[in-house]
Amino acid sequence: MKIKIKTYNGELPSYLTVGKVYEVNPSEGFDGLYDLVDDTGDTLNIDIDDCVHLNGGSWEIVDG
C-alpha cells in the first residue's frame, strides 16, 4: 500500500517529507500498524489515523 502525509501537528520530523509517497506493509504482530521505511532508511511502526511520528496526525492512502 502507498501512503503520504495527510496532516501533522507541530513540527514535522526531519526523517519524513510532506508530499512524498511511502510504501507500507502490515507490521507482523501489531494489529492496525504498518511498517514504513523513513527518509534515513529506518523502519517505523505507524498508525494510519493517529501517528505518533506526526504528533497525532494522519496518513492518506494513495494506492490500496
How many CB atoms neighbour CB 57 within 10 A?
18
Q: What is the mean pLDDT of the chain?
A: 96
- The sign of the dihedral angle between the CA atoms of 39, 44, 64, 23 is positive
Task: For residue 22, give the nearest of 30, 54, 55 by alpha carbon.
Answer: 54
Task: For residue 38, give the nearest of 6, 12, 61, 10 by alpha carbon.
Answer: 12
Q: Is pLDDT of 64 > 80? A: no
Task: Return the H-helix or E-strand segment holding 36.
Answer: strand 33-37
* pTM for this model (two decimals): 0.90
Question: What digits encode the pLDDT tens for the residues 7-59?
Answer: 999 999 999 999 999 999 999 988 899 999 999 999 999 999 999 999 999 99
